[in-house]
């Protein structure tokens, strides 16, 4: 059967049918929100992950990322962005009620941190899997420094329903299959990679950083100073996404393919097996010393820094790449979002509604395969926007031509408006059209972007990032204290904490092999063949 090639307008028209409209209401979303625990002074907390919150190893919604001080909140997939917001509210309320005179830092770039050694690495207990998680983080510290790992962000998880994919396959004259779903998700991902410079423009909220972050770093960025020790770039949107922030120069040699799943997995696995001269100086089990999990470019798949990832939930001790091979793509993870400092949860419902529209638009647009050249162009466009995005004269490379960012963005918003109307019809609301209108207004007025608002506040009062962050952190803590629980109450969270601690102990008690054998078995286990 030959796949029918359709253009954007044809696909858009098809989505207006009642069947497609219903399937859009089955989209599932989830959020992973990171945030540093801080002292009332604004300094980073040095305290261990509070036991009252449960086990960071096994808790389903409250864990830690790189550091004991870096919390991560995870919501389960939900068919309503309103539900996701309410779930985040519940988690934040419970956690903040249990912190011992601590607050949650509301920004992506870290608070004042004296040096790397002042960032306590996360501890996941004495089990082999817990030790593996910690050694991986020790490797991150040795490879890139702890300061980079203290940067926080928000991940938005998005999946289309089986009903949607069935109708999508029929529209394109092909049979519904996991292989076809994988191919279509990769088509979406390719268009996202081409256009995701738009994310830091609209939602970037890290135009400035604390001087402590720059300590010992070599850079050539033309920073200006505001307050006592805050450095900024006049047109920057997301320093978090710049080469100074959450990126990995060692990975620049990787040629990760987003054209098909098999190549993506093959290249990812190759990076986990390719030795790195730079990282060979750190022990990876020699004579029992563990400064990293391996000497290779990637210790594990999660070390790959990318603005979007194809995902499949993993089973016990299953590698992410093996999960993709065995069961295909289940959802995509958008990773280019800064924490929204103007919302207590770090992301609001309007952002999620816009992301729904944006991601579906990426699916509707024809998607040519990426080449090394077009991947490099996409990377250059992103770098321009994170450093200079609010410059009204900024130009980007688009289909071999230099165009203004605003012109290209306007073309995309013309499509977003049409897709938003279909979402509104499906959900019987005006929320999606409103979300797109709010974001489009930022094109005409960069001061309306989060990065623009932050810089206006800092420059107006000659203030520091730390003062603004601390003010917002205190305000949000007070707001959560007054908020009612919606889906889970305090008793529910206490039970989850208790059961997670019991689950961690069960894992620790079940260990029968030494750590070196455990690691060897983990990396040498051959992947099972994908079901036909």
Per-residue model confidence (pLDDT) at position 115: 83
pLDDT (average), residues 72-96: 98
Per-residue model confidence (pLDDT) at position 337: 98
Q: What is the pTM of this model?
A: 0.95
Q: Which residue has the higher pLDDT, 161 or 528?
A: 161
Residue 527 has pLDDT above 50, yes or no: no
Instruction: Please name the residue that has the structure tokens 């998700």.
Output: 185
Per-residue model confidence (pLDDT) at position 2: 56
Whether residue 112 lies inside any domain: the answer is: yes
Distance CA 67, CA 36 (A): 9
Confidence of residue 17 (pLDDT cuts 50, 70, 90): very high
State how far the alpha carbon of 50 is from the alpha carbons of 64, 95, 96, 418, 466, in Å. Answer: 11, 9, 11, 47, 24
Confidence of residue 441 (pLDDT cuts 50, 70, 90): very high
- CA angle in degrees (0–180, nearest 5) for 384-190-34: 65
pLDDT (average), residues 25-50: 96
Backbone φ and ψ for 418, nearest 5 degrees, come out as: -70, -40
How much of the chain, in percent, has pLDDT values that exceed 70? Answer: 96
pLDDT (average), residues 96-112: 95
Integer-rounded Cα Rg, in Å, for the chain is: 23
Whether residue 531 lies inside any domain: the answer is: no
Per-residue model confidence (pLDDT) at position 243: 84
Going through 317-475 in order, the beta strands assigned E by DSSP cover 331-337, 395-398, 401-404
Whether residue 74 lies inside any domain: the answer is: yes
Q: Which domain holds residue 132?
A: 8-524
Per-residue model confidence (pLDDT) at position 220: 83
Distance CA 318, CA 494 (A): 29
Lowest mean pLDDT among 1-10, 39-48, 287-296, 345-354: 1-10
Per-residue model confidence (pLDDT) at position 245: 64
Average pLDDT, the chain: 94
Q: Which residue has the higher pLDDT, 407 or 244?
A: 407
Per-residue model confidence (pLDDT) at position 249: 58
pLDDT (average), residues 197-223: 91
pLDDT (average), residues 367-393: 95
Residue 361 has pLDDT above 60, yes or no: yes
Whether residue 1 lies inside any domain: the answer is: no
Residue 297 has pLDDT above 50, yes or no: yes
Q: What is the CATH number of the domain that holds 144?
A: 3.30.590.20
Per-residue model confidence (pLDDT) at position 215: 83
Identify which of 158, 116, 111, 118 has the alpha carbon closest to the alpha carbon of residue 140: 116
CB 224 within 8 A of CB 125: no
CB 218 within 8 A of CB 118: no
Whether residue 326 lies inside any domain: the answer is: yes
Instruction: Please name the residue that has the structure tokens 């934040």.
Output: 92
**Total tally of structural domains belonging to the chain:** 1
Burial per residue of 245-258, b for 16 or more beta-carbon CB atoms within 10 angstroms, e otherwise: bbbbebbeebeebb
CB 193 within 8 A of CB 332: no
pLDDT (average), residues 381-395: 97
Residue 139 tokens read as 């490797």
Whether residue 532 lies inside any domain: the answer is: no
Per-residue model confidence (pLDDT) at position 316: 84
Residue 77 tokens read as 């997939």
pLDDT in tens, 422-435: 999 999 999 999 99
Residue 497 tokens read as 């904490």
Q: Cβ atoms within 10 A of the Cβ of 355, count?
A: 21
State how far the alpha carbon of 34 is from the alpha carbons of 158, 204, 247, 356, in Å. Answer: 18, 15, 17, 21
Whether residue 2 lies inside any domain: the answer is: no
Per-residue model confidence (pLDDT) at position 532: 33
DSSP string, 133-193: HHHHHHHHHHHH-HHHHT---EEEEEE--HHHHHHHHHHTTS---HHHHHHHHHHHHHHHH
Whether residue 529 lies inside any domain: the answer is: no
Lowest mean pLDDT among 284-298, 328-342, 515-529: 515-529
Per-residue model confidence (pLDDT) at position 5: 86
Backbone φ and ψ for 404, nearest 5 degrees, come out as: -70, 145
């Amino acid at each position: 059967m030959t796949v029918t090639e359709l253009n954007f307008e044809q696909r858009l028209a098809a989505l207006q049918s009642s069947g497609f409209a219903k399937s859009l209401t089955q989209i599932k979303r989830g959020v992973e929100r990171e945030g540093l625990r801080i002292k009332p002074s604004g300094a980073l907390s040095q305290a261990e992950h509070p036991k009252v919150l449960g086990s960071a190893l096994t808790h389903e919604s409250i864990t830690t990322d790189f550091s004991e001080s870096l919390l991560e909140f995870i919501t389960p997939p939900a068919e309503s962005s309103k539900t996701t917001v309410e779930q985040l509210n519940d988690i934040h309320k419970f956690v903040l009620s249990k912190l011992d005179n601590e607050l949650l830092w509301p920004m992506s770039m870290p608070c004042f941190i004296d040096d790397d050694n002042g960032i306590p690495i996360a501890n996941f207990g004495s089990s082999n899997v817990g030790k593996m998680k910690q050694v991986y983080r020790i490797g991150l510290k040795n490879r890139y420094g702890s300061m980079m790992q203290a940067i926080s962000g928000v991940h938005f998880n998005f999946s289309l329903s089986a009903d949607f994919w069935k109708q999508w396959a029929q529209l394109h004259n092909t049979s519904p299959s996991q292989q076809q779903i994988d191919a279509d998700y990769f088509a979406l991902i390719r268009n996202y990679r081409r256009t995701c410079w738009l994310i830091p423009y609209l939602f970037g909220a890290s135009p400035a950083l604390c001087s402590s972050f720059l300590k010992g770093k070599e850079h050539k960025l033309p920073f200006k100073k505001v307050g006592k020790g805050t450095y900024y770039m006049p047109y920057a949107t997301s320093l978090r996404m710049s080469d100074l922030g959450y990126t990995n120069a060692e990975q620049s040699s990787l040629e990760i393919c987003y054209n098909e799943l098999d190549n993506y997995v093959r290249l990812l696995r190759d990076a986990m097996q390719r030795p790195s001269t730079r990282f060979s100086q750190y022990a990876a089990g020699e004579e029992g010393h563990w400064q990293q999990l391996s000497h290779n470019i990637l210790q594990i798949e999660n070390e790959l820094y990318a603005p979007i990832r194809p995902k499949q939930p993993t089973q016990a001790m299953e590698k992410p790449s093996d999960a993709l091979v065995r069961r295909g793509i289940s959802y995509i993870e958008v990773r280019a979002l800064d924490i929204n400092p103007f919302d207590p949860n770090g992301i609001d419902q309007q952002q999620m509604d816009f992301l729904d529209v944006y991601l579906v638009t990426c699916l509707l647009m024809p998607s040519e395969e990426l080449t090394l050249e077009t991947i490099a162009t996409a990377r250059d466009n992103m770098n321009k926007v994170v450093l200079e995005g609010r410059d009204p004269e900024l130009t980007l490379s688009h289909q071999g031509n230099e165009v203004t960012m605003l012109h290209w963005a306007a073309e995309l918003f013309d499509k977003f408006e049409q897709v938003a109307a279909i979402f509104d019809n499906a959900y019987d609301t005006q929320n999606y059209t409103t979300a797109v209108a709010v974001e489009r207004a930022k094109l005409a007025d960069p001061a309306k972007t989060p990065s623009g608002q932050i810089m206006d506040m800092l420059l107006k009062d000659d203030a520091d990032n730390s003062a603004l962050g601390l003010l917002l952190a205190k305000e949000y803590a007070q707001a959560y204290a007054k908020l009612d629980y919606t889906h889970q109450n305090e008793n529910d969270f206490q039970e989850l904490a208790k059961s997670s601690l019991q689950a961690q102990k069960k894992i620790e008690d079940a260990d029968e092999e030494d750590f070196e054998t455990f690691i060897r078995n983990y990396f040498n286990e051959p992947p099972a063949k994908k079901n036909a």
